[in-house]
Amino acid sequence: MIRLFTAVAVALFMLGGPAVGPACAQGERLTRIIVAFPAGGPVDFVARSIAEPLGTHLGTRVIVDNKPGGNGAIAADAVARSTPDGTTLWLTSVGAVAVNPVLYDKLPYDVRRDFAPVSLVVSNDELLVVNVNDPASTVPEFIANAKKRAQPTPVASTGIGSIPHLAGEQLADATKANLLHVPYKGAAPAITDVMGGQVAAFFGDIPGLITQVKGGKLKAIGLAAPKRHPALPDVPTFAEQGIAGVDSNNWYAIYVPAKTPPETVAALNRAVRAVLATPAVSERLAASGAVPMASTPEELAALVRQDTEKWGKLIRDKKITAQ
């Protein structure tokens, strides 16, 4: 594997892909990928999947530095305050850059002021799952059953303002079903309660659900994406089931401090693209349910603007506030 990554790095160098800097080329500097979540979670998995090959391309050692807490603010602040030389990277989900700015009245960071976009890394479609004993096998059946109940149907999320929460709000708006949002502190307890029957359903990232779905511990009934997922080809999208407007993606992307030189950002972008194009990395990510997806910095910036507008409108319309 190392020989393969080295070959990729040499080939890209010959094509004009410089390392981040002379010190990196000599292996004298350490590069950190800051992750705002604990070790063992989906974002951490992606970070650790790309760290070694990214270091091979850049000519430096890359480590993952977990800084959870503060709804991503602790990690964001650490990156914003770091030296803008390309040795501190922030791997973040969409929430910290496109949801938090409209969910919270005050944040210790400003996405446009404090950070420079480098590239998308993976796409994470949201999957709606229910207990395996639930009579519904499709979303229309689930909604029809929900409308028959006298009480609201509880749908779990990973917290107020999370992408799973917002996907649930999209579903409620699209179907006019009486759904009760039940926020949890993370995916693990939410999944446990769906399997235990304490809540009816849960929206979550495919990487966090694929093992339980394929293992028969959860039933997947709908995908909030434009097309079916290659790892779960039998699960139809919401649109295929006649439900429009449920489109949520908890993508991950890399940022650096705002004053990082453009040539350094460009070199990092080339490195990320090279790593994601490597079969060993792309296959590892795809097997987890994440879809490798590089972009230009400009494309990432445009996506953040688009998602900030989309989620901001939903948050304002539904009067969602952080608690």
What CATH number is attached to the domain comprising 45?
3.40.190.150
Residue 157 lies in a domain: yes
Residues 136, 211, single domain; the answer is yes
Residue 323 lies in a domain: no
With cut-offs at 50, 70 and 90, classify the pLDDT of residue 83: very high
Residues 103, 130, single domain; the answer is no
211, 242, 224, 306 alpha-carbon torsion, rounded to 10°: 170
Helix (H) or strand (E) holding 133: none
- Angle at CA 276, nearest 5°, toward 275 and 279? 90
Single out the residue of 278, 281, 260 nearest to residue 20, CA to CA. 260
Q: Rounded to an integer, what distance in angstroms lies between the CA atom of residue 122 and that of residue 132?
A: 28
Residues 193, 255, single domain; the answer is no
Residues 132, 272, single domain; the answer is no
Each residue of 24-74: pLDDT tens digit? 444 457 999 999 988 888 899 999 999 999 999 999 999 999 998 877 888
Q: Rounded to an integer, what distance in angstroms lies between the CA atom of residue 41 and that of residue 237?
A: 25
Structural domain including 167 reads: 126-241
Residues 256, 118, single domain; the answer is yes
Q: State yes or no: pLDDT of 102 exceeds 50.
A: yes
Single out the residue of 136, 147, 98 nearest to residue 248, CA to CA. 98
Residue 322 lies in a domain: no
Please give the tally of structural domains in the chain: 2
Single out the residue of 277, 288, 318, 264 nearest to residue 83, CA to CA. 264
Burial class (CB in 10 A: 0-12, 13-18, 19+), 240: middle
Residue 93 lies in a domain: yes
Rounded to the nearest integer, the mean pLDDT of the chain is: 90
Residue 71 lies in a domain: yes
What CATH number is attached to the domain comprising 191?
3.40.190.10
Where does a domain end: 182, 206, 241? 241
